[in-house]
Each structure stands twice: as C-alpha cells, then as structure tokens.
Amino acid sequence: MKVNPSVVDTIGNTPLIRLRQASELTGCEIYGKAEFMNPGQSVKDRAALFIIRDAEERGLLRPGGVIVEGTAGNTGIGLALVGNALGYRSVIVIPETQSQEKKDMLRLAGAHLIEVPAVPYKDPNNYVKLSGRLAEQLAKSEPQGAIWANQFDNTANRRAHIETTAPEIFEQTDGRVDGFVSAVGTGGTLAGTGMKLKELKPDVKIGLADPLGSAIYNHYAHGELKAEGSSITEGIGQGRITANLEGAPVDMAFQIPDEEALPICYDLLEHEGLCLGGSSGINIAGAIRMAKELGPGHTIVTVLCDYGTRYQSKMFNPAFLREKGLPVPGWLERKIDIPV
Ligand code: PMP
C-alpha cells in the first residue's frame, strides 16, 4: 500500500511544472516547483516541519507545548497544521495588513492569533520582536514549555531547503538545472536551495527576485541595504540580512515591480490553469529575466510559493487593485461567455 502515516509525511516532494508561456517567450525551459501543493498550501510547510523537528530534537518541545511565531501567515499556517498533527498548540503574531484569507485559515487551524499594526523591524512592537518576547514569557508560564520558531534567524528553516528542496530540484531535472530564482522573505528558500544546488552543480546560477519596498536587491546589486517603492505581494521583502540569508550564493539580482509580476499570475490562471499568489509572480518574472540573460536553451527553476485563493480579496479583487492604482485583468470583470 502507498499510505502516509500522517499529513506531516506529505510535506515536500512537490512536482515541477513547466511554465508554458514563460518557456516559449524565452526559449528556455522554465519550471515552477509547486509548493502550493504542500498540505498548508505554501513553501513554508517545509520550514515549519524542520523548525519543529529541530526543537523536538533539542528537547525544547514537549507534548502539549506551545509554538510561538511572528509571521506574514504562511509559516504560521504550516506551524499550526504540523502542530495539530504532532500535538502542539500555536500562538501566531501577524501584521494586520496581511490577507484576511490567511488570518481566517490560521483561526480555522486553531492558532491563537494576535494581530498587530505593521511597523518596521527596528520598532520594539514589530511583529517578529513581539513574538520573541511572548515566547519568552510563555516559556516561563506554560507547564509544557513554549518555543519561539524564529524563522528569520533559526537556520533549521534553510536546512529544510538544503535537505529537501534542492535535492528534489536536482533529481527532477536530471541534474539539468542551470538556474534557480527565488524571492526572499526569511531567505531560507533562496539561501538553502542555492547553497545545496551549488554543491550539487557548481556552475548553476542563483538569482534573487526582489519586490519593490525590499532592501535585498540593492544589497546584492549595489552593496547597500536600501528600499524604495512598495508592493502588494505578501510574505516577501526584507530589510536586513537574516541568519538564514547569510552566505546566500547570489549571482544575479532582479528588482521586479508588481506591474510586471501580477499579469504573469493572471495569465497563468487564465491560460495555464495555475492559481498562484503574488510572490510566485515575482519569482517567475525573475526566472524570465534570468532566462533573457543566460539566453535560450537553459533550464531554469523557480518557486510557486502559495495558492492564489489566499489573496482573493486582494490581487484578484478589482476594487482593491484600482485602489492601489494597479491594472485590473479583463477577465476578472467579464461575464463568462458560454450561453447556458
Ligand atoms: N512567498 C510567500 C507567499 C511566503 O509566505 C514566503 C515566506 N514568508 C516566501 C515567498 C519566501 O520564503 P522564504 O521565507 O523562504 O524566504
């Protein structure tokens, strides 16, 4: 029988999907790693599982213990689901600007959700710092103990990509992968996958795809952590070099405006049946830019980070797009033209 003992065992081993239009446009083979097919519908299930297993191995988590995290949502969803399966509770601190759908999912999964104003990292009330302090308090008061997942600086996060994502990509492409492109939230995906792919194939090119409002592009392109502009994408963008991003082997850096990324998501849904969140659009736009730099004939892999329904009220909502001054895809407002 082919049976998984629990949902936890279904994390990872996601398929690679050929992105037809991106490939045809560039003459390269561009593939997306379908991370939305993880049980929590995002790439962050991998990090959540590795962080929890690491804490268990260190004896920090006991049955019934509490996992505390500051997250844009996806890591929280992963932690809550894996926590439920393994017998832990979760407390999630989230900036109130994140999508309603992610907050609803967190509540559905039984997480104790704390919404806080979105303030910069240097502010003591930043969601990441608040979650760290909360974990410290709960570690004292909770009889079963509490841990701070600390996805930004806990390198169990990038180990998930060193041990699983990169070897999967290498194997799935028969070692033909020439380039890998990823955006950065914590940096776990870019650094972990990048480091291991370089080990498996030293001449592979690693590309950063960065949204506006993030400082990482300027760091790699111009040597200074400087941000400009803004983006409606969620879960990506960073203002500092996290422990997970430290040492990421970045060969190329691309800065991608929403106007370039979002139409890719709309086209993929309309013509290829792929429903993806905005960070996937940033990634695919980055893969297309890398393909143009490397020239035709190369194999480039990027990450399809999460499922689009998570942003139905935002990037798939004409009123929201208009309010942000972003173009509205025609089919989003068109009636279906099948006479019934
Ligand atoms: N896309 C989405 C939608 C995410 O939630 C995240 C994680 N915050 C990422 C991309 C980036 O992943 P990482 O944290 O590994 O950099």
Q: What is the pLDDT of residues 173-202, one digit of tens each?
A: 999 999 999 999 999 999 999 999 999 999
Which residues contact residue 119 at a Cβ distance below 8 angstroms, ignoring those fewer than 6 apart?
125, 126
Structure tokens at 251: 């060969």
| 235 CA to centre of ligand 1 in angstroms | 5
Q: How confident is the model at residue 340 (pLDDT cuts 50, 70, 90)?
A: confident
Judge whether residue 221 has pLDDT over 90: yes
The answer to whether the beta carbons of residues 54 and 168 sit under 8 Å apart is no
- Residues 326, 126, 75, 79: is their CA dihedral positive or negative? negative
CATH T-level assignment (fold) for domain 43-148: Rossmann fold (3.40.50)
pLDDT tens string 30-79:
999 999 999 999 999 999 999 999 999 999 999 999 999 999 999 999 99
The alpha carbon of 281 and the centre of ligand 1 are apart by a number of angstroms equal to 12
Its CATH class, for the domain covering 7-37+163-324, is alpha beta
Q: Tell me the pLDDT band of 119, cut-offs 50, 70 and 90.
A: very high
What is the spatial distance between Cα 109 and Cα 183, in angstroms, rounded to a whole number?
Answer: 27
Please check the confidence at residue 86 and state whether its pLDDT lies above 90. Answer: yes
Mutate to test the pocket of ligand 1, among 153, 158, 279, 303 (most ligand atoms within 8 A of CB): 279
Confidence bin at 338 (pLDDT 50/70/90): confident
Backbone angles phi, psi at 294, to 5 degrees: -75, -25
pLDDT at 331: 84
- Note the pLDDT of residue 334: 77
The answer, yes or no, to whether residue 233 has pLDDT greater than 90, is yes
CA distance 307 to 161: 19
The minimum-distance atom of ligand 1 relative to the CA of 157 is 15
Mutate to test the pocket of ligand 1, among 38, 276, 305, 309 (most ligand atoms within 8 A of CB): 305
Is pTM beyond 0.90? Reply is yes
Mean pLDDT of 305-310: 98
The atom number, within ligand 1, closest to the CA of 245 reads: 16
Q: Rounded distance, CA 34 to CA 12, Å? A: 9
What residue ranges of the chain are covered by domains with CATH 3.40.50.1100? Answer: 7-37+163-324, 43-148
Q: What is the mean pLDDT of residues 228-232?
A: 97
C-alpha of 147 from chain center: 22
Ligand 1 contact, 102 CB (< 6 A):
no
Catalytic residue (choose from 2, 33, 44, 226): 44
44 is catalytic: yes
Calpha distance 313→228 (Å, rounded) = 25
Q: Does the pLDDT value for residue 336 go beyond 80?
A: no
- Read off the pLDDT of each residue in 310-324 and give the average, rounded to a whole number: 97
Residue nearest to atom 2 of ligand 1 (CA): 235
- pLDDT in the model for residue 110: 97
Beta-strand relationship, 16-18 and 29-34: antiparallel
pLDDT of 327 over the 90 cut: yes
- Whether 211 lines ligand 1, by a CB cut-off of 6 Å, is no
Q: For all residues of the chain together, what is the average pLDDT? A: 97
Q: Which ligand 1 atom is the nearest neighbour of the CA of 158?
A: 15
* CA 307-308-311 angle, 5° bins: 120
Q: Say yes or no: ipTM exceeds 0.90.
A: yes
For residue 306 and ligand 1, the question of a CB distance below 6 A is answered with: yes
